[in-house]
Chains A and B, each alone.
Chain A
Amino acid sequence: MDRKPILSIEQLSKHFGGIHALKGIDLHITAGEILGLIGPNGAGKTALINTITGFYRADSGHIHFMGQPLIGKSLHEIGRLGIGRTFQNIRLFKRMSVLENVMVAQKTFAAHPWKAFWGFTQRSAAVDEAMQWLHTMHLADKADVPAQTLSYGEARRLEIARALAGYPALLLLDEPAAGMNETETEDLIRDIHTARKWVKAMMLIEHDMGLIRSLSDRVVAMDDGRKIAEGSASEVLDHPEVQKAYLGDDE
């Protein structure tokens, strides 16, 4: 398997007004791995994803994805390059159906308005492909309901299906298990394992340490905008600085 990093971040910094969210982060993700990202609330984990994907503009530093610099690129350029993500606060297209949420992510149409207009001729092929993603995430029976009627667990899986439908090389998941109970979390683990087959690498932000242990090949811990530890799940979770950062923090 390829050991080259598909995403490498150097000295990434971002601040808003008084808050210094990222203070010179160095990080890389190698092809084939799932990188777990942990840290207390406010550590900058979501800010990191937002800066990688273009939701935030970095103040300084470098990000390279498959050889391409990401700094300065717009949201849609980064999306087309092959980075998919989910959102901590779930941002589905609420009034569209579950199936439509996945279909809109299909790059043939998303990136080409002209093709999209005449695309009604390829409707069944597109629908079948989207249904495949729903099957993968065990949402096929909800295909035609509006996305806002989904349960929490279903909504999160839909976000993953939607992200996958664009065939991303890198998938970034932001606290997919937040608010889930045990069964839902197990379903999620199962579905993330499946998703793994479709992408080259994944980064997973999570507070649920069980999830981190069972899914991550490698873990990075952040606190206060900085990387404080890196290694295997056990190494990082037993690291004294990591434990200190979480002191008083409920899991």
Chain B
Amino acid sequence: MLAGQIVNGLVSGAMYALVAIGFTLIIGVLDKLNFTHPEVFMFGGYVGLVALPFMPVAGAFVLAFAVGGLLGVLTEWAAFRRFVGGDARTTAALSSMALGLIVTDLVHKVWGTEPLRLPNMTGWLAESFSILGVNFLNLQMVLLAIMLALMWGLHHVIARTRMGRQIRAVAESSAHAALLGVNVLRVNQAVFFISSGLASIAGLMLALRADTVSPDLGLTFGLKALAVMAIGGMGDMRGAVLAGLGIGVLEALMFHLGWGRLGELTVWAAMILTLLLKPAGLFASGHHGQEQRV
């Protein structure tokens, strides 16, 4: 049972990580919090709801990434582009919150406020296998594999492509990057596209695993991803992944130990501890957390 729970935890952790990566990318590059992110995550599930009757799961993932990415670009345009300067961080955060409200409301209007079931999964994905008497779902393996592939892909893009270099340059200093000829706007759009696409995929993953979609998941899940980001270190992608997986497993263990709903507090308690002991983040390389104190 324990092994099964841990795998469960890893899958949850993978989702946390994907959403947290999105948050942390935008913090790292634009130094702003994107509060529309949780709703894009939520929307990914609905993309699945609409698409799955017509296409295989793989297609749904691609579609979710694309739709999420487009939502991200829209978010950048509507809630982030105009705001530069002193109060920009707060204004952008508030703006993206307002946009998030709109997205949720539109989802309510089209699909209602109650959770909806996904079409039944058939075929290979619905089956399970055992190792040493422990049951694993094929679906879980697929989700983990997808997460690994996405992480690797993201790492490759950031570390080895031209766009990745430009992203890193803007993250260091957008002013310097602009002087070097980088099109900061394109970089911002790319960052939003990637991070929102990942969130959308995570939303689809959750929907597949739980068999349902619901408009409320955005905030519940998304906020936890924010905490995961803080634990891993703001702007630190590796930290987000490690923290996400760690929290996923930790939460699963808490539920396994019978803490029930109080297990939900795990991630927040972990965040408070991190803020108290190592505010720059447990896994952070530290450059974002220096002269922070007054």
Q: Do A and B bind each other?
A: yes
Answer yes or no: B3 CB below 8 A from chain A CBs. no
> C-beta contact mask, B241-280 vs A, less than 8 Å → 1, else 0?
0000000000000000000000000000000000000000
Is A75 close to B, CB under 8 A? yes
Across the interface, name the chain B residue whose C-beta is closest to A74: B294
Using CB atoms, name the residue of chain B closest to A55.
B291
**Given the complex, which residues of B lie within 8 Å of A56, measured CB to CB?**
291
Number of A-B residue pairs at CB separation under 8 A: 3
A41-99 interface (Cβ within 8 A of B)? 56, 74-75
Instruction: Tally chain B residues at the interface, Cβ within 8 Å.
Output: 2
CA distance A163 to B109 in the complex (A): 58
Kindly state the separation between the CA atoms of A56 and B291 in the bound complex, as whole angstroms.
8
CB-CB under 8 A from B294, the residues of chain A are 74-75
- In the complex, what distance in Å separates the CA atom of A74 from the CA atom of B291? 13
A75→B291 CA distance, assembly (Å): 13
A74 to B294, CA, bound (A): 8
Which residues from 203 to 241 on chain B have a C-beta closer than 8 Å to any C-beta of chain A?
none
Nearest-Cβ distance from residue B169 to partner chain A, whole angstroms: 19
Name which residue of chain A comes closest to B290, CB basis. A16
In angstroms, Cα B294 to Cα A56, docked, is: 11
Q: How far is the CA of A12 from the CA of B235 in the complex (A)?
A: 33
Q: Which residues of A contact B291 (CB under 8 A)?
A: 56
* CB-contacts of A155-170 with B (<8 A): none
Q: Across the interface, name the chain B residue whose C-beta is closest to A75.
A: B294
Q: How far is the CB of A76 from chain B (nearest CB, A)?
A: 8
Q: Whose C-beta in chain A lies nearest to the C-beta of B294?
A: A75
A74 — which chain B residues lie within 8 A by C-beta? 294
Interface string of B23-66 (1 = CB under 8 A from A): 00000000000000000000000000000000000000000000
**Chain B residue at minimum C-beta to C-beta distance from A94:** B86
CB distance from B221 to the nearest CB of A (A): 37
Bound-complex Cα distance A104 to B291 (A): 25
Q: Given the complex of chains A and B, what is the CA–CA distance between A36 and B294 in angstroms?
A: 29
| Least CB separation from B293: chain A residue | A74
Give the complex CA separation of A112 and B32 in angstroms: 34
Distance to closest chain B CB from A121 (angstroms):
30
CA of A75 to CA of B294, assembled, Å: 7
A-B contact pairs, 3 of them (CB 8 A): A56-B291, A74-B294, A75-B294
Nearest 3 CB-CB pairings of A with B: A75-B294, A74-B294, A56-B291
